[in-house]
Amino acid sequence: MSYLKVESISKTFGEYKAVDNISFDIPKGIIFGLLGPNGAGKTTTIRMINNIIIPDSGKITLNSKLVDSDTQDLMGYLPEERGLYKKLKVIEQLKYFGKLKGLDTKTAESRAMYWLEKLGAKGWENKKIQELSKGMQQKVQFISTILHEPEFMILDEPFSGFDPINTEMLKSIIHEMKKEGKTIILSTHVMSQVEEMCDDILLINKGAVVLKGSVKEVKSKFGNDSFSIEFNGNSEIFNNLEQIKILKLDDKIAEFKIIDQHLTGNDILKLLVDQLEILKFNKVEPSLNDIFISEVGKQNMNTKAVQNG
């Protein structure tokens, strides 16, 4: 059963269609990657889920309830554009955000102090936001997002401003939240983080869905024509094969993509076994970064072709 259900939503600003008939489902208790290049429609989609703006058409339900101001209070939203009050002290800021989400002052302060300590920020509570580094401010923003213990969170570029150590700490906390049954939308441009953390993904471009599914399914779908061979022999043989595109080649290992759609990996292997000593032959799974670049680039080229046609 879907925890969040997005059905055929569209949004236009003037003559610009920011989101064009997007649909997807998110089960409860997963980390869902919402991906796309700049200007793809991610932020508009997130704002519609969070009831900040209303779709022109379609509907969004959270736990079978249409999103509204009530569901908004149940969510935790970390926007890419940070929104902290620079001259306010950290603890006052966190208490304020907690109270906006329905917490009493005592609970808000208690939880704020707990999270400040957990994130290695104990002693910052009386500092003003403007006195903090970008990474420190990011920790305060993250705490304000989760202070009311939401079951559903939207984290837009949550690792921005963090060094590798703090990035790993935040990853660990997000995984802990998933284990607790919380549902998380993660939006980031760093595909390695998506590959490491997300269960399902949705890639959008120019306001429309490009691909969606589990990370495993997506990588499997795009990994059927790329292979790696470890060999002994003359590597020049690979340059003579018109059926493949070489991705990497040295005197021991070749990685290639089959460009003849009528051939399989076994067909290429048959062409090589009499000419080389084959030590290993493996299918190569593409990275999400490779898939992202390939699919977005392909759609952009198709759009230009239509416009020029």
Per-domain residue ranges of the chain: 2-213, 224-283
In this structure, what are the phi and psi dihedrals at residue 88, rounded to the nearest 5 degrees?
Answer: -90, 145
> From CA 221, how far away is CA 69, in angstroms rounded?
39
> From CA 228, how far away is CA 283, in angstroms rounded?
6
Report the chain's mean pLDDT, rounded to a whole number: 91
> From CA 13, how far away is CA 111, in angstroms rounded?
40
Q: Residue 42: what pLDDT? A: 95
**Maximum Cα interatomic distance, the chain, rounded to a whole number of Å:** 77
Query: Which residues in 80-194 belong to E strands, given as ranges?
Result: 152-156, 183-187
Tens-place pLDDT, residues 142-199: 999 999 999 999 999 999 889 999 999 999 999 999 999 999 999 998 899 999 999 9
Q: Residue 306: what pLDDT? A: 41
Contacts of 185 (CB under 8 A, 6+ apart): 4, 26, 32, 33, 34, 46, 49, 153, 154, 155
Q: Which of the four CATH numbers 3.40.50.720, 3.30.56.10, 3.40.50.300, 3.40.640.10 does domain 2-213 have? A: 3.40.50.300
Query: What is the value of pTM for the model shown?
Result: 0.84
Contact 8, 20 (CB under 8 A): no
